[in-house]
Amino acid sequence: MDRWSWQSKTTKAAEEKKSHIPSVRLYNGDDKTEFDKGSLEITTHRIIWNDGRRGIELPLKLVVRVDSVEATFTKSAKVVLTLSPPDHARDPGPVQTSKYDFVKLSFLKGGHLDAKALLVSLLSEKRWDKGVVAMKGPSSLMGGGLVHIERQIESSRAETDQSLNAAFRDIDALMDKGKEMVALAERITVKLSEKADSPGGDETLELKSHLLSIGISNPVTRETHGTGTKYHASLGDELARMLRAPLQQCGGVMSVSEVYCRYNRARGVALVSPEDVVNACKTLTPAHHGMELKRFSSGVLVVEGDNFNSVMRTMVDTITKNTCVSALTLSSIMAIPLMLARERLMAGEQHGLLCRDETEEGIFFYKNLFVEEPRG
């Protein structure tokens, strides 16, 4: 509540009243305030609360976010305004300090959704920024020129609105056609799937490629057509070429997220979707590409170079030299990210090379001595 100032009676330049809602209570964060049952006026520049006796205002430029909370049986609907830190140069107001950085507007007689929508659109317009310098008033000398500028700003804003509306109409027209396409394609998919005798015919493949082109998210499309297509195979080849050197540097393992980033950064344009990157990785083979996709039980996907076994051996040797390691120490010794250190230790454990010891300080890994030949 410490961002509110006493209401100033002067209207700002280009300020426009947008809405008036009765019966609104203000909350300082989660706490009720004494500003109860007043009316709320929303303008393009500020929110004004007034109960007849006193009025306070909040500049819209301090509002970072607008959320709404639905009414429950005992509580009325609210709009939550998250605010930026208080401006020290602000005009004096009713509250000096507040531990909260949000306020709530409680709409005792409804209207919260409209208010929220209005606030969201006003916040995106940011009319207070576009305001003209002088105030509206009887200044005939300057008045003419400034009014003209104001009108120009208004009309260009109106133009943007209009062109946006035109764009929306064009989108809708395009989508009408798209809707026909989707319906047609789906009818045929049903017909084809009814033909139980030839599940993998050429037509099915062709249809599925059409579906994918238009973006119909069909799980069947993805499974049988999404992977192993020529596109993904050639993408895989390209990836392998690009990754050979970096993979060596990373100790033979790289997360698929990193592959995605590197590849798209290298491409620059006509970027590839995460899904296509994953599908391309699925086409990698050790024989042909010298690397392959591996999936850990946690779901983490990595591309592993064929030097993986030697990496495992190096890791076990490192661990033996240090008696035991945690993921943190391993990551610094081998200079790999913590995530990968963890995954490698898990992999080592799963392959029976390591044993873990869970302590209060964390999890430590030792070389698995149980599988060693007993000495003497």
> Could you tell me the smallest distance in angstroms from the CB atom of residue 214 to another protein?
6
Residue 117 within binding range of another protein, rule CB under 8 A: no
Residue 14 within binding range of another protein, rule CB under 8 A: no
Among 117, 142, 158, 171, binds another protein (CB under 8 A): 171
Could you tell me which stretch among 106-114, 146-154, 258-266, 307-315 binds another protein (CB under 8 A)? 258-266
Residue 77 within binding range of another protein, rule CB under 8 A: no
Among 214, 313, 351, 357, binds another protein (CB under 8 A): 214
Bridge partners of 66, per DSSP, are 81
Q: Which of helix, strand or coil describes residue 231?
A: helix
> Which positions ≥6 away from 259 have C-beta within 8 Å?
239, 243, 277, 281, 303
Could you tell me which stretch among 10-18, 282-290, 294-302, 310-318 binds another protein (CB under 8 A)? 294-302
Binding residues with another protein: total (CB under 8 A): 67
Amino acid (1-letter code) at residue 149 = I
Residue with tokens 């029976």: 352
Q: Which of helix, strand or coil describes residue 4?
A: coil
Could you tell me which stretch among 43-51, 189-197, 246-254, 307-315 binds another protein (CB under 8 A)? 189-197
Which two three-digit tokens encode residue 60?
A: 């819209």
Residue 198 within binding range of another protein, rule CB under 8 A: yes
For 152-190, b/e burial (b = at least 16 CB within 10 A) is eeeeeeeeeeeeeeeeeeeeeeeeeeeeeeeeebeeebe
Residue 123-162 contact track with another protein, rule CB under 8 A, x = bound: -x--------------------------------------
Q: Residue 147: is it exposed, middle or buried by C-beta count within 10 angstroms (0-12/13-18/19+)?
A: middle
Q: Which of helix, strand or coil describes residue 135?
A: coil
CA 373 from chain centre, in angstroms, equals 53
Residue 70: phi and psi, rounded to 5, are -70, 155
Among 158, 174, 220, 335, binds another protein (CB under 8 A): 174
Catalogue the long-range contacts made by 212-219 (C-beta closer than 8 Å, 24 or more residues apart): 214/178, 214/181, 214/182, 214/185, 216/182, 216/185, 216/186, 218/189
- State how far the Cα of 223 lies from the Cα of 249, in Å rounded to an integer: 33
Q: Are strands 17-28 and 102-107 parallel, antiparallel or unpaired?
A: antiparallel
Residue with Cβ nearer another protein (32 or 195) = 195
> Could you tell me the smallest distance in angstroms from the CB atom of residue 41 to another protein?
26
Q: Restricting to residues 331-350, which ones interact with another protein according to CB under 8 A?
A: 337-339
Residue 164 within binding range of another protein, rule CB under 8 A: yes
Residue with Cβ nearer another protein (44 or 279) = 279
Among 141, 270, 287, 369, binds another protein (CB under 8 A): 270
Among 42, 185, 291, 325, binds another protein (CB under 8 A): 185
Residue with Cβ nearer another protein (316 or 333) = 333
Residues near another protein (CB under 8 A) are 67, 80, 124, 164, 167-168, 170-172, 174-175, 177-182, 184-185, 187-188, 191-192, 195, 197-198, 201, 203, 206-207, 210, 212-217, 226, 231, 255-258, 260-261, 264-265, 269-278, 295, 298-301, 337-339, 362-363
